[in-house]
Amino acid sequence: MSFEKVAIIGLGLIGGSIGLAVRQDMPGVATSGYDADPKVRERARERQLADVIADNPAEAVEGADLVILCVPVGAMCKAAKAIAPGLKEGCVISDVGSSKRSITEALVKALPGRTIIPAHPVAGTEHSGPDAGFATLFHQRWCIVTPPEDAPEDKVAELVDFWEALGAMVETMDAAHHDRVLAVTSHIPHLIAYTIVGTASDLEEVTRSEVIKYSAGGFRDFTRIAASDPTMWRDVFLNNKDAVLEMLDVFLTDLALMREAIRAGDGEMMHDTFSRTRAIRRSIVALGQDDPRPDFGREHD
C-alpha cells in the first residue's frame, strides 16, 4: 500500500469504520483523525478509531498521504479549507459523500492545485456517531470512485487499491452519472421513506401508538431507512437536487400509472410490474448485496 498515513476528518459511522478497517486490514498504515465535536473526539479516543485523534483539523492531516473527508456534504467546503494549512505536497484528498458533482466542485474550489479524487462507499446503516462504526462495514460493498478528468492515473489506482484493501468492490465512473444512479438507488428511496413515515405519523385517524404497535415488515423497513442521519440526508438532497428531481419526476409518472391501474382494476398491469420488481430483488440477493434469508435475515425471539 502506497499510502503510509491516512487522515480521517469526521469520525462518525463511515469515518470511524474506515479507521477501524485500516487497523484491521492494513496494519502497516498509520491513521490520524479529527472531528469538530469535542465529545466525538473523546469517544473516538476511547474506541481507538485512529492511532492519533488530533484537536484541530490541520494537525490531523500533517504528513498524511491520503485525507478522507467524512463530513456531511454541506460541510465539505468548510472542512477542506480547515485542513489546507496542514496538507503536504502530493497528498490525495478524497471523501465519502453521496453527491459527487457538487463535492468535486466544492473541493476543487477550496483546495486549488491539490490532487482531489472523490469517492463514495455505498455502505452504511441507519446508525450514526462514533459508536456506530465497525471494521467490516465495507466488506463486499461497492465503492464508487469519481476521478476528475485531470486526476493522475497512478493516484486513482492507489485510491482504488486502498478501498479494495478494506474489502470493497470498486467501480469508477463520471461524477454526474454517479449522481443520477444514486438518485434512483439511494436518494429517492430515502426520500420516500422519510415521507411515508411522516405521512403515517400525521394521519389524524391513526394515532402514533397504533403506527408503532401495528407496523408490518414493509413499514418497519421504511422506519429503519428514515432513522438515518437527518443532517447528512438534508445535505444530499440540497446538493444533488437536479438528479433527484429528474428521477423523482420519473417515479411520480410510474406512481400515477400504478394509481390508475388500481382505479381501473387492471390486475394484469400490477402483476407484470410486481413480477419485474421481484426479479430485481432476486438479482440483488444473487450479487450478495442483501440477505437472502426470510424476513431480510431478521432474528426473532
Q: What is the pLDDT of residues 221-277, one digit of tens each?
A: 788 788 888 888 888 888 888 988 998 999 899 889 989 999 999 999 989 888 887
Residue 212 sits in the same domain as residue 161? no
In-domain check, residue 300: no
Average pLDDT over residues 192-219: 73
Single residue among 173, 206, 222 that ends a domain in this structure: 173
In-domain check, residue 301: no
Residue 100's contacts (CB-CB under 8 Å, 6 or more residues apart) are 118, 120, 144, 146, 175, 176, 178, 179
Q: Which residue has the cell 469520525?
A: 11
Single residue among 173, 206, 229 that ends a domain in this structure: 173
Single residue among 173, 194, 216 that ends a domain in this structure: 173
Residue 211 sits in the same domain as residue 154? no
Residue 122 sits in the same domain as residue 257? no
Mean pLDDT of the chain: 88
- Alpha helices, DSSP H, located in the chain: 13-25, 38-47, 57-61, 76-83, 100-110, 153-165, 175-182, 188-202, 208-213, 217-226, 230-239, 241-264, 267-286
Residue 118 sits in the same domain as residue 200? no
Residue 174's contacts (CB-CB under 8 Å, 6 or more residues apart) are 146
Residue 161 sits in the same domain as residue 50? yes
CA distances to 64, 70, 96, 124, 134 from 9, in Å: 12, 6, 11, 17, 17
Q: What is the pLDDT of residue 130?
A: 93
Give the span between the Cα atoms of 22 and 42, in whole angstroms.
20
Number of folded domains in the chain? 2
Give the span between the Cα atoms of 170 and 274, in whole angstroms.
31
Residue 183 sits in the same domain as residue 154? no
Average pLDDT over residues 37-53: 96
Q: Which residue has the cell 419485474?
A: 276
Of 131-145, 184-198, 200-214, 283-297, minimum mean pLDDT range: 283-297
What residues make up the domain containing 64? 5-173
**174: DSSP letter:** -
Three cell numbers at 160? 482504488
Q: What is the pLDDT of residue 276?
A: 83
In-domain check, residue 295: no
In-domain check, residue 220: yes
Residue 181 sits in the same domain as residue 169? no
Neighbours of 165 (CB within 10 A): 16
Phi, psi of 292 (to 5 degrees): -80, -5
High-pLDDT (> 90) share of the chain, %: 60
Q: What is the pLDDT of residues 269-292, one digit of tens each?
A: 989 888 887 776 676 556 665 555
